[in-house]
Structure 1
Amino acid sequence: MEGKIKLLIVDSNEIMRKGLVELLSKDRDIQIVGNAMKGEEVIRLAGETHPDVILLDLRMQNMNGVQVIKRLHKKYPDIRCIIFSNYDEYDEQYVFDSINAGARGYMLKTMPLSKLVDGIKTVYRGGSILSPRIATKVFGKFRELAKGKHCESDALSEREKEIVKLIAEGLSNKQLADKLYISTKTVKTHVAHILEKLDAKNRTEAVVTAIRKGLIDIDDKEPTPIR
């Protein structure tokens, strides 16, 4: 990896925050540029330290993670945010609200350190990540909500639906191109059209939105990073 990932860690719990700083700083590809516990502090540090990725708890003082992401996305659109939280504290709507606000991932504090590091690197490279437990429950919930809904037949083309399903399985542009026997450039064009049609900021939001609207269905398999 060229250069280090500049990471800002945000958690209201001092022990958790300092522990993350200590553990993640040991990875040779990650540089911790700061840590914070309050929403306003995050906004300030983002402007001062210019992180590539922010690891963000949903619960903090003076504003929640969704509110922080909205402000960050508006002021610093190139910064990629990952929600790192205890899922049981919140319902599926918080997950969707986070993604809709611009989060590039949602990961659980119960996951192994190696998976957390992999997730940070995936998001840094331009991908998105959902913890398997999160994705299974959220997608399941949205499938239930989508039952009986009828969407316009031209909301997505059959090829676009196929691509969204494959994105949900974790395929990169190159893998999509190889599987569908088309060029990477064509894949990028399809993805751009999908994002525009679904009014989605990134691939994760596109997949969630497509399922929520009943445009696609996916198998109950363990999700992988959405690259």
Structure 2
Amino acid sequence: MIRVALVDDQPLFRGGIAMILSSQPDIDVVAQESSALSLAQMVRDAAPDLILMDVRMPGIDGITATGQLLAEFGASAPKVLVLTTFDVDEAAARAIEAGASGFVLKDAQPDFLLASVRAVADGSQVVAASATRQLFERHGSRGTDPGPEFQTLTAREREILLRAATGLSNAEIADTEFLSEATVKTHISRILAKLSLRDRVQLVVYAYEHGLV
């Protein structure tokens, strides 16, 4: 069961999303908030696995709230999937840099929203990978050299990191590298652990920030 919390200042939109999510047997909407002001307390009380959060809200926006969550809860923080109006939005890029696990458009089809929630909860793939790449290509990257953690990766792991950073799925990486999907998934898990990254989206951020792609 995926425990989801909703944070959006539009009651009708928030209610509609809650209905879509609650209709699924594997998703439980455990909390709803109209702002991020009490987000930390909500996380402690409801213990969501994932937060669907509007990137633009009065008071504390989704970017700031995401950063605060990671600062307070660290590795135990729930994953954040931000809701945005535009597929190429600097705010969405900043939310990902702050620690969000991806973003989904507010006008997305219900099936895509549900698939995105499940993907982020599973941590197995990048949500809207092409749009994520487009964001970082548009807004640039720092291009700093990777730290010593990068040297802990094997040659194969570096190859797979670059494949994943360009948006390839596990199946596509498996076909390209002549590996099984299970082997690719194992490599991805090891890469994330060695680089202290939360998920595939953070892997993309890492690659762009350090000029690897």
TM-score normalized by the length of structure 1: 0.73
The 1:215/1:40 distance shift into structure 2, 3 A limit, reads same
Structure-2 change in CA distance of 1:8 and 1:102 (3 Å): same
Deviations 1:57-102 (A, max 9, x none): 01223211111112222333341111111126942xx333212222
Q: Distance in 1 between matches of 2:104 and 2:167?
A: 17
Contact 1:38/1:61 (<8 A) preserved = yes
Is the CA contact (8 Å cut-off) linking 2:192 and 2:198 kept in structure 1? Answer: no
State the 1:18 CA deviation. 1.1
- The residue number in structure 2 matching 1:86 is 85
* CA 1:145–1:123: 2 relative to 1, 3 Å: closer
The residue aligned with 1:31 is 28
Aligned counterpart, 1:189: 190
1:169 to 146, 167, 170: 167
Answer yes or no: is the 8 Å Cα contact 2:50–2:121 preserved in 1. yes
Distance 1:101 1:19, change over 3 A: same
- The aligned runs of 1:11-30 (5 Å cut-off) are 11-30=8-27
| C-alpha deviation, 1:108, in angstroms | 1.1
Offset from partner CA, 1:148-172 (integer Å, 9 cap, x none): x6857x9667544421232243434
Partner residue in 2 for 1:211: 208
SS in 2 for 1:114: helix
Partner AA of 1:74 in structure 2:
A
- Residue 49 (structure 1) shift: 0.8
TM-score, normalised by the number of residues in structure 2: 0.78
Report the residue type matching 2:167 in the other structure.
E
Cα separation, partners in 2 of 1:126 and 1:90, compared to 1, 3 Å: closer
SS in structure 2 at match of 1:81: strand
**Partner Cα distance (1:177, 1:206) in 2:** 18
Identity, in percent, stands at 23
**Which is worse superposed, 57-66 or 122-131?**
122-131
Q: Is residue 127 from structure 1 mapped to residue 128 from structure 2 by the alignment?
A: no
The structural deviation recorded for 1:187 is 5.2
Q: CA deviation at 1:134?
A: 2.5
SS at structure 2 position matched to 1:119? helix
Compared CA separation, residues 109 and 158, structure 1 to 2 (3 A):
same
Structure 1 match to 2:113? 116
Q: Please name the residue that 2:66 is paired with.
A: 69
Q: Is the 8 A contact 2:30 2:46 kept in 1?
A: yes
Q: Greater shift after overlay, 56-65 or 184-193?
A: 184-193
Q: Which residue of 2 aligns with 1:225?
A: none
- 2:133 and 2:28 map into 1 onto residues whose CA distance is 32
Task: Report the Cα offset of residue 120 of structure 1.
Answer: 0.5
In structure 1, give the amino acid aligned to 2:18.
V
The structural deviation recorded for 1:139 is 4.0
Counterparts in 2 of 1:29 and 1:189: CA distance versus 1, 3 Å: closer
**Unmatched segments (≥5 aa) in structure 1:** 217-227
Give secondary structure in 2 for the equivalent of 1:129. coil
Question: Is the contact between residue 177 and residue 187 of structure 1 (CA under 8 Å) also seen in structure 2?
Answer: no
Q: Cα offset for 1:48? A: 0.9
